[in-house]
Amino acid sequence: MATATPAIDFWFTTGSTYTYLAVMRLPTVERETGIAFRWRPFHLRAILQEMNHVPFADKPAKEAYMWRDLERRAGLRGVPAPRVPAPYPVRNLALSDRLAVLGVREGWGPEFVRAAYRRWFGLGQEMGGEPNVSDSLREAGQDPARVLALAEGDEIGRALKAETAAARGLGLFGSPSFVVGREVFWGDDRLEDAISWLRHSAVQRP
Amino acid sequence: MATATPAIDFWFTTGSTYTYLAVMRLPTVERETGIAFRWRPFHLRAILQEMNHVPFADKPAKEAYMWRDLERRAGLRGVPAPRVPAPYPVRNLALSDRLAVLGVREGWGPEFVRAAYRRWFGLGQEMGGEPNVSDSLREAGQDPARVLALAEGDEIGRALKAETAAARGLGLFGSPSFVVGREVFWGDDRLEDAISWLRHSAVQRP
């Protein structure tokens, strides 16, 4: 190709609640803008633990607000209304992050992640747990036995660790984060800012 | 008057960085929407201390991001570009919150708060410190000696405490927060959501 498709790095962890809004609306955004999003799963929890930061833990007012905000914003973003609160925090997050890494590598990552978020926020099935994992893999056309064996292996563990190190290097501390060059935009509510930056090197009104 | 002006409660503390965006753009928003904003200063720091939460403290990546985000968003909001990082955290925040309470009561609150934010983010003069406090009071047409004596008195202390209790009752944990009935919208980036809620009882595209 003569011209590269403009692209934004979409960094995320599968344990993040607000990331639901981003994963569900990205197909529409890609279609409407012609921008490609490179899915970059990373293990945010490792970074937050280093920061001694656990979002919402022991902060009931803030957690209650987050669910309400997410619920209200789903309408704004045109994504299915979430059943809130969904099971949170996610216990086996390392597994779903590993599956996302493997899926992105093999090409079924976005489909799997969206299926898993739909089950988490639509059916109340915890991300990273059963039956969410196996059903979402099957929906993405994958054999759970094959994929789980790979995802739990050393190679994917190393790949997730490398991506997490890259995220740390960019100064990421939340999910979703959109990165254009070295410019970081944190939160589904900054997606439009990232698009503006890609187009104009400035955050401006559309 | 036969019809009440539609109104949104604008809860804030003078120590908040993102509140700069809100205080600077509210006059334009009021003019464009016909909505009145009721300024409700409260002592957020007391609530955050109860939550054992100090925004950005010991979180250098998150603080660096906050300054960059604020800088980028000033353009989006049409407010003067801030000199970042501004002095932070604010040390004598209790004083500037008390002054805001007194100013709202006497009618010069918004003008004082905007003047103080302009000095904090435009000239690098810390909020709540000198010369910011006296110069901002004079800009708002007030005599610093008279006003400081009142602001440091028991009555304003009790008023600030009562407003902080009301904020706690609403579940507030950040500044700015916009409240429509019992519906809370946290952050300058949720102001449009609050306006939408006031008009449509839903968060939707304008």
* Domain harbouring B42, CATH code: 3.40.30.10
Q: Tell me which chain A residue has its CA closest to the CA of residue B66.
A: A186
Chain B touched by A54 (CB under 8 Å): no
Residue A84 has pLDDT above 60, yes or no: yes
- Residue A59 and residue B72: Cβ atoms within 8 Å? no
CA distances in angstroms from A162 to A90, A158, A169, listed in the order given: 22, 6, 11
Q: Is residue A2 part of a domain?
A: no
Q: Judge whether A177 and A11 are in contact, CB under 8 Å.
A: yes
Total domain count for chain B?
A: 1
- Chain B hits for A173, CB-CB cut-off 8 Å, are 59, 61-62, 65
Structural domain for B60, as ranges:
7-200
A162 in any annotated domain: yes
Please provide the DSSP assignment of B182-202 as one string: TEEEESGGGHHHHHHHHHHSS
Can you tell me the ipTM of this complex?
A: 0.93
pLDDT, residue B5, reads 76
Mean pLDDT, residues A45-69: 88
Is residue B2 a part of any domain in this protein?
A: no
Q: Is residue B206 part of a domain?
A: no
Instruction: Report the pLDDT value the prediction gives residue B3, as an integer from 0 to 100.
Output: 59
Quote the pLDDT of residue B153.
98
Cβ distance of B184 and A52 shorter than 8 Å: no
Chain A residues whose beta carbon lies within 8 Å of the beta carbon of residue B61: 51, 171-173
Tens-digit pLDDT profile for residues B114-159: 999 999 999 999 999 999 999 999 999 999 999 999 999 999 999 9
Domain-located, residue A87: yes
Overall pTM > 0.90: yes
Distance CA(B138)–CA(B149), nearest Å, equals: 15
Q: Which residues contact A153 (CB under 8 A, 6 or more apart)?
A: none
Share of chain B above pLDDT 70, in %: 99
Please tell me if residue B9 touches chain A, with a CB cutoff of 8 Å: no
Cα distance between the two ends of chain A: 28
**Residue B72 forms part of a structural domain:** yes
List the single residue in B173, B183, B205 with the smallest CB-CB distance to A61.
Answer: B173
Interchain CB distance below 8 Å, B75 and A204: yes
Cα separation, B148 vs B133, in Å, equals 9
Q: Is residue A60 part of a domain?
A: yes
| CA distance, residue B4 to nearest chain A CA (Å) | 26
Q: Answer yes or no: is A206 within a domain.
A: no
Within 8 A of A58 by CB-CB distance, chain B residues are 51-52
Could you give the CA distance from residue A45 to residue A1 in angstroms, rounded to a whole number? 38
% of chain A at pLDDT higher than 70: 99
